[in-house]
Amino acid sequence: MRPLINIAVLVIAFTACRKESRIDIPYQGDKIVLNSLIQPDSLIYFRITRSKPVKEYQNLQFPEIKGADITLLENGKRLPAPVWKVINGKGYYVSQAFAQAGKQYAVRVAYDGLTSVLAADSTPGHPEISDAFAQKTANRVRFTLRDNAAERNYYRIRVYNADTVNGIVTPMKRDTVKFRLDPSFNNNFFDVIGNTYYSEVLLKDDRISGKEVQFVLQTNKQVTASYMMVEVSNLTESAYKYLDNTFAQRLENRLEFSLQPVDIYSNVTNGYGIIAGVNARVLSFAVE
């Protein structure tokens, strides 16, 4: 969709005019929203909320659903029910054991007055990354990725500035580094010609399948931090589709539905949201 929008810029350059529309937007009714990106070697955090009408003039927060009945299965075997916990002011249902790579997780959520929902996905293995490098005052970050030829792989790449806290390199996650990827890898011309930098890049392994490839990321600002981190996540197909479909809304508060009405991918039956496996690896390094 992004190429279309970039080209359409020229057409819209004929002084576009924007105003609130009077078209009435119907509401499909309350549904359970189930969200979790399952990271192996970590607890599983389920965020369960309720949907709302699209038009809103007072409060953009979504109501949490507390007291839901949650059933969690790992490879078909029932695990202890996740427990309610408030983290950073928001409520989550947290599993009582760590997730593992290569497992299938299924979740069922029931709540009085709402239709029960079901979702399932697996957890991928971690990506093989190495040799991260950046130089101060330059605006290039490099690392090497070895793609597994035996699988169809999907990746998410992010870069953070970092600092040491008690001798441990810690990412400054609110200070995401915006960058562009060499277009030969993600097949997107517009990353170069559009002069757009992203806080995350998603790609399939179409062009790098089975290869060891040095990625060169160009940052939009000169590297000034003493430490940096490159995070590469292996994604399941569900995770890739969801993150790709929601890119504009998650990161740019934009929704393009008029010219290309394609709904966001969801694997939650009878509800909204996503249950998907991700497996992130991080390279922390000192900037030279």
Binders in 91-110 for other proteins, by CB under 8 A: 92
| Residue ranges in 53-82 that form contacts with other proteins under rule CB under 8 A | 53-62
What residues have CB less than 8 Å from 97, skipping those under 6 apart? 43, 79, 80
CA distance 148 to 151: 6
| Residue ranges in 24-53 that form contacts with other proteins under rule CB under 8 A | 25-29, 31, 33, 35-39, 42, 45, 47, 49, 51-53
Residue from 73, 213, 225, 286 binding other proteins (CB under 8 A)? 213
Residue 66 CB burial class (10 angstroms; 0-12, 13-18, ≥19): exposed
| Residue ranges in 267-286 that form contacts with other proteins under rule CB under 8 A | 272-274, 278, 280
Residue 77: phi and psi, rounded to 5, are: -100, 130
Among 64, 57, 164, 69, smallest CA distance to 112 is for 69
DSSP code of 198? B
Q: How far is the CB of 120 from other proteins (least distance, A)?
A: 16
> Binding marks (x or -) toward other proteins, 215..244, rule CB under 8 A?
-x-x-xxx------------------x-xx
Q: Dihedral of CA 249/255/256/260: which sign? A: positive
Residue from 104, 115, 116, 139 binding other proteins (CB under 8 A)? 139
Size of the site for other proteins (CB under 8 A): 111
Give the residue with the Cβ less far from other proteins, 73 or 194: 194
Q: How far is the CB of 274 from other proteins (least distance, A)?
A: 7
